[in-house]
Structure 1
Amino acid sequence: MTQKSDKPAPKRAGTNKKNTTTSPRRKTASTSKRASGAKQSTTRNSKQAKSAGSNSTGSNSAGSKSAGKQTSKIRRFGHWLFATGLKLSVFVLCFLVVYTVYLDAKVREKFEGQRWQVPVQVFSRAELVGAGEPLSLPYLAKSLSRSGYQKVAKVWRPGQYAQSASRIIIFQPEFSYRDHDYSAARLTIDVSGGKVQKVYHGNDLVKSVTLAPQLVARIIPSSKEDRVLVGLEQVPESLLDTLLLVEDRDFYFHSGVSPLGILRALYSNIVAGRTVQGGSTLTQQLVKNMYLTRDKTLVRKVNEALMALILEYRYSKDQLLEAYVNEVYLGQHFANGVYGFGLASEFYFGRPLNQLTPAQMALLIGVIKGPSYYDPWRKPENARKRRDLVLKLMVEHHLIDVPSYEQAMAAKLGIRPKRRMLRQHFYNYMQLVKRELPQLLGDQQQNAGVKVFTGFSMKAQLLLEQTTAQTLTELERKHKQTSLQAAAMVTESATGEVMALVGDRNFDNNGFNRALDAHRPIGSLIKPAVYLPALERYQQFNFATPIEDKPITLGSEQGKEWRPKNYDGKFRGQVPLVDGLVESLNIPTVNLGMSLGLADVAQSMAMLGYEKPLTERPSMLLGAVNMSPYQINQLYLPIANQGYYERTHAITHVVAHSGETLWQYQPRHEQRISSQSAYLMNYALQQVTQRGTAKSLTWRLKGAEVAGKTGTTNDQRDSWFVGYDQQQLITSWIGHDDNKPMKLTGSSGALVLFANYLKQAGVNNLSWPAPDNVTEVGFELTTGNAVRETCQNMAYYPAVTIDLSYSSCMEKIVDKRSWLEKLFGRGE
């Protein structure tokens, strides 16, 4: 079994052996083949090993190359990023440089140019008050109150006054007027019987004193920003110290932006539990208010910081502080914003900065944080809390002592009773100022904080307003009229300065101004212009020259006839030249005007100051010319000024904020009427008030020496009167806006307004010395000849005696006494 089982094995072995021995080639081939297979197997294994090794090594190599590439990419990206960053940095740097240069130019342009549109401040005249002059104490006191003076029982500081029945004491602050400086002074004026008796400057008795100009109004610019510029030296030091304490303690140490200030403010606010300090520096606040909007954006904050740095680099700390004091927004007065401490002090307390109490200073500075939220009129509790907080800071930092702190804490807010400022704007007068100002200054100069001084008299204006209102009410009641209107103006005769002006019975009306714009027929007011050329021809005409007063008919080129008549409808046959003017007779005036020539009358109007062309027709001789009260005032000004022409004007001089005089009225003092003719015209117009159409003035102004002329138009549609004393010329008109007839003539209407005004203001009696070659001469009225003897019908008038020829009487005096009267000497 074992053998059998062993047989196959050899056979497989023999077979194998046989194959090996008998076929060596095959063996060799087979071996070779195996070897080749082994080789191939080995090669494959080798290749696999290589491949495995290659995979292992190649994998490392590929990773290395990939890592190298990645590193290379990172390096290249790093280089690119660095280059790009560098380029971007250079670009940003260049942009910042260019942008900073732009901001620098913007900052400098405004800060060194016109920083603000500052309202024009309009001031009254500096009035001289002397012994013997007329003065109304009530109106002087009223004018002081309107201009901001405080009435007290005892005067002890500037800006106060005290009044009794016959005395007024005024403590006025220092001021400058027309290149002259006046120190603060206590003035005492004693008045009796409507006239100044004594004047004291301090304790010294003097002849006269000068009252400081009073602020009349401010002309607000188009920006609606109202402010009063103040210099740093005008601001109390305690107010500045408190301002810096509350708003920017490091102001004099930082460079415009203060990181420490921001951190300190943040800490203070966290400790207090509410916002008590701001992080912005005072310079940043200035930038925000002056240059930027209030938008809370990153761009604005960057601009704010850059511009703050530029301001700090360019300008001194004091310059920046002064700018802030004038720029900061502190409230709203109806449509106008209140900017700067100068105006805010007046707005809240009605007094200048240098008169504020510590409590008022604290409130003013406290309001900066939120003028609306801390508005003392609308939210007094908020305002009080804010004020008390500022006061606490003041006492903690020793800006006030403890007693002052306790007193301030207990004090009321001390604001004015009403939000609206009490100062009246005097709209009618201000319209005249606004018309003149653009002729003197450009827009930029007008918005640069100029001070405009005028001929305005506060007491004259208030008096004219009151007498106008009273007179219209009186006339409406007496003559059963309604809706009467009036216009009036008061001018200083010697200078042409308008002292007062009313253009509407409603003095708060800022609309139609009748004194400036109501062009109405002037009636008999034209007659002095007709008679003046005759008085200049003194060799041909005098007051006694006979002028016909008979019916006349004049024809026009259109074939129309004109038959003028006297107001009373009567004809006197013949009248002396002077009576034609004194009694305002139409027919003699037309005859005189036609004999002189219409061209001469038109030239006379132009000489007196009427600047428009005239249509030369006979009706103009009786006032068929439309003029405004302002134009009429100009027409009479040379007559009231002894023949010298001055232009009617409101503005006298303009001063820049720096104190430099920008413009000043230059007196013309141009003699347009000869001294002889001016004197004669004045005589005739005085006769008008004594025996002519204005003779009611003899009892309305008893004992007064004044001159004037009435004017009444057809159907009594216009009532005019122009009159003057030694100092002032008054022009008045009364009528209806719709041109309806009235029951008023010049003497029963406008003259009453003139008289009521002078009765209150006081009269400076006319006193004109006769010029050379003018003296009183006797004239025979029948012939108009000068005579030295006594004639039957004669009168005495002033006349120019140069080459005056005298004649004998045509009608000698006939003694009509009986022989008994002659015997006993009676009946002369």
Structure 2
Amino acid sequence: MSNKTTKDSAENVTIKKSKLKRASIFFAKLSFVAVVVLAFYTLYLDSKVVAKFEGQRWQVPVQVFGKIERYQLGDAINLQHLKENLLLTGYKRVNHPRKSGEFALSKTRIIIYRRPFDFGSGIETSQQILIDVAQQANQQRVSQLTIDNAPASQVVLEPYLIDRIIPENKEDRVLVPLQSVPEKLLDTLLLVEDRDFYFHAGISPLGILRALYANLRAGRTIQGGSTLTQQLVKNMYLTRDKTLWRKVNEAIMALLLEYRYSKDQLLEAYINEVYLGQHFANGIYGFGLAAEFYFGKSIAQLTDEQMATLVGVIKGPSYYDPWRYEQRVKKRRDLVLKLMFQQEFLTKANYLAAVNSPLTVRKSRRLKQTKQKFPNYLQLVKRELSQVLSPSEQASGIRVFTSFSPYSQQLAQESVQQQLASLAGSEEHQLQAAMIVSDISTGEIKAVVGDKKSGYAGFNRAVNAKRPIGSLIKPVIYLSALERYQEFQLATLLDDKPISFEMDNGEVWQPKNYDGKFHQQVSLHDSLVRSYNIPTVNLGMTVGLAHIAEIIHMLGYDEDITLRPSMLLGSINMSPYQVNQLYLPFANQGHYVESHVVDLVISSQGETLYRGVTEPIAYFSSQASYLTDYALTHVTTEGTAKSLSWRLKNRVVAGKTGTTNDQRDSWFVGYDNQHLITVWLGRDDNKATDFTGSSGALTVFAKFMEQYGVIDKQFTVPANIEQVSFEQNTGYPLAVDCENTIEYPAVNQGLPYQYSCSENNQENKKKRSWFEKLFG
């Protein structure tokens, strides 16, 4: 019996060992398979981690900036304009700048504590910039430059952020590099969210225990158990589902991120990825945008209490919404401030000041970017981008630098609104306007107004409204004639007598002067200055309609032109943008430059995608250009724009008025030594107004120039131009003294000088009394 029992026991042991062995083998195989599967799955997750982290991490808004201002020794500068631009860019004027975003100004010096900014070659840290100016020939010029108290040959200023064009996924963010984030903000973030960040490998059991203890001691949640790396994984790669599988993925991907990338790279990614609120349909991601969203500041300008607020909001952006739960947010902020004080990030005085301060969030949740402030200008930017970049190049995160001037734009809008209010009266709701301000030498467009209402995002009249240009066409005709200097000079006489033309449809066209009079004969100079129609038509027919049309096309107008005499009086339709392009060579000594708004485009990786290069091309002779410019300057002193002689007293400008039939369109194009400005007034329904070019559009130009400041036109007399006496009743150049003469600049090559006075002059000379002969 005992032997049988022993035998059964042995068999049972053998069976158990066999089952255990089989189980061990099974589990070994299963473990092997699990390891293999885990390895492959880890490789899959690794590829996913690398693809996004090293590729396009975020659908970042396209950022559109204004002009990057650069100053070198000897450059012209206007401190008041610079001050206004700084204020509009968000800088604060103080007595003694001590931190980025502040500046101080005196009559001859400006000190700017420039904020960190990436101008295209990597982030540049905060710098204290000093600019001294000296007065030279009625103009301020840079006399000294320093950067951080060291002499410099050039300084570069932060441009104005016009807008961010948000991608389709509705995620708005402002990318900030780690070195531009205040150190105190980073320390506070790590203190509250992950104080072992620089010591763990992606997951931190010790951190979980510490957070649990701190939360139990405080009686509420004040610290999170997840590491920053885990939070980054959750935000960047995973959904917000609370499942075990998601937590497993989170842990593996956190370990992979820690293995592949440095702590600073991960911290920078977190700074730009963390979800911090909701702006209507758009999420607020990253501290860069959150600083603007909550406080209207850049991240470098945040105060201690504002840093504490942002770090506190991370725990629950909806729960800690300051516009809905002010006391809840303040309580959370004060808790973070207490932790900062305990860790000696704050002095006692700073802590008490911060904890007793109110929440300083903006009054309204609505960001400025919700409603574009300058939609008319942005329309030009988008149109030009589509011309210089392919759709694939207009990718997420590109940074577009333009020629936009916030101060010029502000003054242009104010000038339009103020003058329309004073001009229109009861008609104000009907009268509309458009205006373009551009730089003469570069063609850069600095401001665009497409509607009388500031910020209106509808029909852009500056770009899209095609209206008859009236007398604005005349300088093209006169310049074309003056190129033939052996045939035409400013003193050349033109017939001003009734004329008529039979049109193709059998109708007869009989042009008339605006004053309804005929002057028999007038000089080419006076005809342009006083904008006479009949002499202009006679001159244009002599030069040739086809030649005039060719010049118009050469000046940038790319639409068809019907060759008929009425084109000589401006029956051609153009937008203010096209007119502005047409006039650039008149203001730039005959040199053509193409109007543009985009100067530079940089990819999210810092690669230059496009750089605009201004290359002036001499389209016309310097002599003919000078003579035309001379006449257009006289338009503002004795011609149709002579009111500028008192509106802009003692200032030297040039320009041309334009008025169409029944005063439907009021035009003025004017320029000083730096800016070309085109203004149009009229009604959208094309009904008549009460204004000519001189009584309407000119007043807007004058208002703008009065506020901006005129830089007097400078005349460079080209070779072969000299002052010549012309006989007024014949238009002949004289080599002798005669009666009834006038002096004009003229091309002196091949002039058919007269060596005797005309018979009329001789008779007049004989009839003069002894008193007239003695005193002239």
Tell me, yes or no, if structure 1 residue 100 matches structure 2 residue 42.
yes
Supply the distance in 1 between the matched residues of 2:72 and 2:450 (Cα, whole angstroms): 28
CA contact (8 A) 1:539 1:803 kept: yes
Unaligned runs of 5+ in 2: none
Structure 1 window deviating more from structure 2 (651-660 vs 522-531): it is: 651-660
Q: Is the 8 A contact 1:688 1:695 kept in 2?
A: yes
The aligned residue for residue 145 of structure 1 is 87
| Partners of 1:656 and 1:155 in 2: CA distance | 33
Aligned with 1:395 (options 338, 341, 345):
341
Counterpart AA for 1:453: F
* Residue 294 to residue 561, structure 1, CA distance change in 2 (3 Å): farther
CA distance in 1, matches of 2:273, 2:661: 59
Which piece of structure 1 moves more, 509-518 or 218-227? 218-227
Instruction: Give 1:624's match in structure 2, choosing from 554, 567, 571.
Output: 571
1:97-134: per-residue Cα shift (whole Å, max 9, x none)?
34333322222122111212223141334165999979
Mark the CA change 1:194 to 1:575 in structure 2 (over 3 Å): closer, same or farther: closer
**Which aligned pairs between 1:291-440 and structure 2 lie closer than 5 A?**
291-421=237-367, 425-440=373-388
- With over 3 angstroms needed to count, the CA separation of the structure-2 counterparts of 1:616 and 1:647, relative to structure 1, is same
Whether the aligned pair in 2 keeps the contact of 1:157 and 1:171 (CA below 8 Å) is no
Picking from 551, 554, 557, the partner of 1:610 is 557
For residues 696-715 of structure 1, the aligned pairs below 5 Å read 696-715=643-662
Identify which range, 521-530 or 184-193, moves more after superposition. Answer: 184-193
TM-score normalized with structure 2 length: 0.88
Q: Given the alignment of the two structures, is residue 724 of structure 1 paired with residue 668 of structure 2, yes or no? A: no
The match for 1:224 among 170, 173, 179 is 170
Residue in structure 2 matched with residue 548 of structure 1 by the alignment: 495
State the Cα distance separating 1:497 from its structure 2 match.
0.9
Q: Whose Rg is larger?
A: 1
CA distance in 2, matches of 1:658, 1:482: 48
TM (norm. structure 1) is: 0.83
Q: CA deviation at 1:487?
A: 0.7
Q: Is the 8 A contact 2:64 2:402 kept in 1?
A: no
**2:181 is matched with which residue: 225, 230, 235?**
235
Does structure 2 retain, via aligned residues, the 8 Å contact 1:123–1:217?
no
User: RMSD of aligned C-alpha atoms?
Assistant: 3.8
| Correspondence for 1:173 among 95, 110, 114 | 114
Q: Residue 654 of structure 1 contacts residue 662 of structure 1 at CA under 8 Å; is this kept in 2? A: yes
The within-5 A match list for 1:126-137 is 126=69, 137=80
AA at the equivalent of 1:149: Y
1:646 is matched by which residue type in structure 2?
V
Distance 1:354 1:206 in 2: 24
Write the distance in 1 (CA, Å) between the matches of 2:69 and 2:32: 64
**Using the alignment, how far apart are the partners of 2:611 and 2:177 within structure 1?**
24
Letter of the structure 2 residue corresponding to residue 96 of structure 1? L
Partner residue of 2:467? 520
The separation in 1 between residues aligned to 2:103 and 2:693, in whole angstroms, is 41
Equivalent position of 2:401 in the other structure: 453
Partner of 1:23: none
Matches within 5 A, 1:728-739: 728-739=675-686
Q: 1:185 aligns with which of 122, 129, 136?
A: 129
Q: 1:540 to 1:188 in 2, by over 3 A?
A: closer
- Counterpart CA distance in 1 for 2:150 and 2:665 is 51
**Residues 131 and 564 (structure 1), Cα distance of their counterparts in 2 relative to 1, 3 Å cut:** same
Structure 1 residues 818, 615: closer, same or farther in 2, change over 3 A?
closer
SS at match of 2:759: coil
AA at the equivalent of 2:449:
V
How many residue pairs align between the two structures?
763
Query: What secondary structure is seen at the aligned counterpart in 1 of 2:689?
Result: coil
Shift of 1:291: 1.9
**Between 444-453 and 706-715, the greater mean CA deviation after superposition:** 444-453
Q: What is residue 522 of structure 2 aligned with on the other side?
A: 575
Note the C-alpha offset of 1:504. Answer: 1.1
For residue 423 of structure 2, what is the aligned residue in structure 1? 475
Partner of 2:746, secondary structure, is: strand
What letter matches 2:56 in structure 1? Q
The structure 1 residue matched to 2:234, chosen from 288, 304, 324, is 288
TM-fit CA distance, 1:209? 8.2
Cα distance change, pair 579–466 in 1 and its aligned pair in 2 (3 A)? same
Structure-1 separation of matches of 2:168 and 2:310? 26
- Aligned partner of residue 148 in structure 1, secondary structure: coil
Residues 570-598 of structure 1 show CA distances to partners (whole Å, capped at 9, x for unaligned) of 22233222233222222222222222222
User: Cα–Cα, structure 1 residues 699 and 208, in superposed 2: closer, same or farther, change >3 Å?
Assistant: farther
State the distance in 2 between where 1:625 and 1:524 align: 10
Q: Aligned partner of 1:342: which letter? A: G
Conserved? CA contact 2:89–2:159, under 8 Å:
no
Check 1:676–1:429 CA distance in 2 against 1; reply closer, same or farther (3 A cut). same
| 1:123 and 2:66 matched | yes
Q: C-alpha separation between the residues in 1 aligned to 2:548 and 2:621?
A: 16
Q: Secondary structure at the match of 2:582?
A: helix
Tell me the CA shift for residue 506 of structure 1. 1.1
Name which of structure 1's ranges 759-768 and 773-782 shifts more when overlaid on structure 2: 773-782
* CA separation of 1:437 and 1:551: change in aligned 2, threshold 3 A: same
Contact (CA 8 Å) 1:131, 1:196: kept in 2 or not?
no
Query: How far did 1:701 drift?
Result: 1.3
Amino acid at match of 2:457: N
Distance 1:80 1:600, change over 3 A: farther
Tell me the CA shift for residue 75 of structure 1.
10
- Residue number in structure 2 paired with 1:249: 195
Alpha-carbon distance in 2 for matches of 1:160, 1:626: 48
Question: Per the alignment, in what secondary structure is the counterpart of residue 813 of structure 1?
Answer: helix
SS of equivalent residue, structure 2 residue 666: strand
* Structure 1 gap segments, 5+ residues each: 1-59
Per-residue deviation at 1:716? Answer: 0.7
- Deviation, 1:444, is 5.7
Q: Distance in 2 between matches of 1:793 and 1:657?
A: 70
Sort the Cα spacing of 1:711 and 1:178 in 2 relative to 1 into closer, same or farther, 3 A: farther
Q: Counterparts of 1:187 and 1:824 in 2: how far apart (Å)? A: 61
Q: Are the aligned partners of 2:475 and 2:628 in contact in 1 as well (CA < 8 Å)?
A: yes
Matched, 1:464 2:412: yes
Letter of the 1:185 counterpart = I
1:787 corresponds to: 734
